[in-house]
Amino acid sequence: MPPTASSPHTSGTARVRLSPERRREQLLALGVQLFSQGSIEEISIDRLAEVAGVSRGLLYHYFGSKQGFYEAVVQCAADDLVAQTAPSEDPDPMVRLRHSMAAYVDYVVDNLAGYRSLVRAAAGGNETLRRIYDEARAALTDRIFRPEGAGELIPDTPATRLLVRGWAAFAEETVLAWCAEPDGLTRDDVVRILSDALPALVAALG
């Protein structure tokens, strides 16, 4: 349920004096919550301030503009995605991959509206949002390549990096399409299909 200006959390926010750093963190946390619901692009700066229990001037003070606030929230959400999908330390590279893919699927399901919003924003003309998206995607795909001796899943070559980029796009589109129309596939089916697809692609290189 979206937060409201009359909720206990936000009414308490207006009364509590916080340090500038804590206040900014609090505003970003609210923004990430709105982002997960897909509503942050549509909400006005006045409504943002009302929900946060602060003046609109304070939002401008910390973020400069609504767009500045939106970009900071998207960066925070992207960092959260990377953190939540961190691979396990299992020595088996396929176990690590399945762990990361399961976490990725769960993240998209739990934050579906916001994730779709991020993908749309990355396809738009905002260079900052595109950079945030590209950096998050790079962080996720770079995990596929491990230092020598750490349980390598696939060799790190220009060809395999190209394949991983294509596989990442396939994984994203598959999860989003599955969320829209499950078509008899379970969450475990999706995780297995995406995980098994990567080594199969690499094997096709010969």
- The percent of residues in the chain predicted with pLDDT above 90, rounded, is 45
121 vs 75 pLDDT, higher one: 75
pLDDT score, position 52 = 83
pLDDT score, position 20 = 80
What are the residue ranges spanned by the domains of the chain?
Answer: 8-70, 85-203
The answer to whether 92 and 55 have CB atoms below 8 angstroms apart is no
pLDDT score, position 39 = 64
pLDDT score, position 87 = 86
**pLDDT bracket for residue 136 (50, 70, 90):** very high
pLDDT score, position 13 = 42
Q: What is the mean pLDDT of the chain?
A: 85
The class that CATH gives domain 8-70 is mainly alpha
Mean pLDDT of 196-205: 92
How crowded is residue 110: how many other Cβ atoms within 10 Å of its Cβ?
11
CA angle 169, 79, 198 (to 5 degrees): 30
Q: How far apart are CA 99 and CA 90, in angstroms?
A: 9
pLDDT score, position 198 = 94
The token duo for 134 is 């590209």
Query: Is pLDDT at 54 greater than 70 in this prediction?
Result: yes
Query: Is pLDDT at 174 greater than 80 in this prediction?
Result: yes
pTM above 0.85, yes or no: no
Mean pLDDT of 63-79: 91
pLDDT score, position 151 = 52
Most confident of 86-95, 105-114, 168-177: 168-177
State pLDDT tens for residues 177-187. 999 999 889 99
Separation in Å, CA 53 to CA 1, 8, 169, 197: 17, 11, 39, 47
Query: Is pLDDT at 149 greater than 50 in this prediction?
Result: no
